[in-house]
Amino acid sequence: MQTSQDEMLSQPQQQILERNDYVSELEEIEEEVNQMAERIAEYRGTISVQLKTTVSSVLTAQRPVLGTHFDDGSESQSGSSGDLSSDVEGPIESGHIAILAGEEQKEQLLKQKISENASAIPVVFID
């Protein structure tokens, strides 16, 4: 009859081997947990910036495109010309300006909430 190596070891020796296996397995798991903690810390540092940038670009892409004549002061000059079409366009242009201002406020509020939510996420450090 052929006996295996485990059968040749005494009971205390087998227990020592089992403990060594258990300790090495625990060390491997601890190393994996530490690596995961480092990756989570990296993601926490970059995710809020990425989310803010993404939301900002999505909101910018959805914003209606209007002419730039609102910013150069040409609106006030067109009203003094006496042209009837400019009088009709005045309230419409004012409405577009109000809509843009409202959307900018919404965008700013959304950015602020995202930053607050990202900073409210608890940080976990594992030694």
Question: What is the per-residue pLDDT for 86?
Answer: 47
Q: Distances from the Cα of 22 to the Cαs of 15, 32, 84, 120, 127, in angstroms?
A: 10, 15, 88, 38, 20
pLDDT band at 36 (very low <50, low <70, confident <90, very high): very high
Please tell me the distance from the alpha carbon of residue 49 to that of residue 115, in angstroms, as a whole number.
8
Please tell me the distance from the alpha carbon of residue 63 to that of residue 104, in angstroms, as a whole number.
9
Question: What is the per-residue pLDDT for 105?
Answer: 85
Rg (CA), the chain: 33
Average pLDDT of span 61-72: 59
pLDDT band at 35 (very low <50, low <70, confident <90, very high): very high
Please tell me the distance from the alpha carbon of residue 124 to that of residue 127, in angstroms, as a whole number.
10
CB atoms < 10 A from the CB of 56, how many?
14
Average pLDDT of span 80-93: 50
Question: What is the per-residue pLDDT for 14?
Answer: 82
User: pTM of this prediction?
Assistant: 0.35
Q: Is residue 96 a contact partner of residue 66, using CB atoms and an 8 Å limit?
A: yes
Question: What is the per-residue pLDDT for 9?
Answer: 72
Q: Is residue 121 a contact partner of residue 44, using CB atoms and an 8 Å limit?
A: yes
Q: Distances from the Cα of 16 to the Cαs of 3, 4, 30, 97, 103, in angstroms?
A: 20, 17, 21, 78, 69
Question: What is the per-residue pLDDT for 29?
Answer: 96
Question: What is the per-residue pLDDT for 102?
Answer: 78
Among 39-43, 57-61, 68-72, 116-120, which stretch is predicted with the lowest mean pLDDT? 68-72
